[in-house]
Amino acid sequence: MSLSHIHIRTYENTCPSQTDKHSVIQDGNLSVTPVLQSEDSAFGAEVTGVDWSRPIPEETVAQLVALQNKYAVLIFRNTGLDNSRHIAFSQQLGEKLEINPFFYGRENDRLKEALLFDVGNIQLDGSLVERDSRRWHHSLGNALWHTDSSYHQQRSKYSILLSHGNPVKGGSWTHFADMRRAYADLPQEKKSELENLIVEHDLWHSRKLASPIVYGNPLPHELAAKPPAYHRLVQTAPDGRKTLYLAAHAKVILGYSFEESQKLIWELIDHCTQPKYVFSMEWLFGGDMVWWDNRQSMHRANPYTESMTARDVRRSTIIDDGPLAYGVTLEEKPAVGWKPQTMAAT
| Nearest residue relative to ligand OGA (C-beta) | 301
Least Cβ distance, residue 287 to ligand OGA (angstroms) = 16
x/- contact string, 163-202, with ligand OGA (CB under 6 A)?
Answer: -----------x----------------------------
Residue 115 in the binding site for ligand OGA (CB under 6 A):
no
Residue 139 in the binding site for ligand OGA (CB under 6 A):
no
118 or 148: CB nearest Mn ion: 148
Strand extents, DSSP E, 62-130: 73-76, 117-118
Q: What angle do CA 256, 197, 278 make, to 5 degrees?
A: 105
Out of 162, 299, 304, 312, the residue judged to bind ligand OGA by CB under 6 A: 299
Count of residues that interact with Mn ion, criterion CB under 5 A: 1
What gap in Å lies between CA 115 and CA 30, rounded to an integer?
Answer: 28
| Nearest residue relative to Mn ion (C-beta) | 148
Cis bond before residue 16 (omega within 30° of 0): yes
Least Cβ distance, residue 74 to ligand OGA (angstroms) = 15
What gap in Å lies between CA 231 and CA 330, rounded to an integer?
Answer: 11
161 binds, among ligand OGA, Mn ion, none (CB under 5 to 8 A by kind): ligand OGA
If phi > 0 it is left, if psi is from -120 to 50 it is alpha, else beta; for residue 312 that is beta
138 or 180: CB nearest ligand OGA: 138
Residue 273 in the binding site for ligand OGA (CB under 6 A):
no
Decide: 297 and 147 in contact? Cβ < 8 Å: yes
Least Cβ distance, residue 292 to ligand OGA (angstroms) = 9
| Residue 247 amino acid letter | A
Tell me the HSE value of 20 on the side-chain side, using a 13 A CA sphere.
0
x/- contact string, 113-152, with Mn ion (CB under 5 A)?
Answer: -----------------------------------x----
One-letter-per-residue 3-state SS of 135-190: HHHHHHHHHCCECCCCCCCCCEEEEEEEEECCCCCCCCEEEEEEHHHHHHCCCHHH
278 binds, among Mn ion, ligand OGA, none (CB under 5 to 8 A by kind): none
Count of residues that interact with ligand OGA, criterion CB under 6 A: 10
- Pick the closest to residue 253 from 272, 237, 273, 267 (CA basis): 267
Residue 148 in the binding site for ligand OGA (CB under 6 A):
yes
Pairing of strands 30-38, 25-27: antiparallel
- Pick the closest to residue 316 from 157, 92, 98, 78 (CA basis): 98
Residue 119 in the binding site for ligand OGA (CB under 6 A):
yes
Chain positions contacting ligand OGA, by CB under 6 A: 119, 142, 148, 159, 161, 174, 299, 301, 313, 315
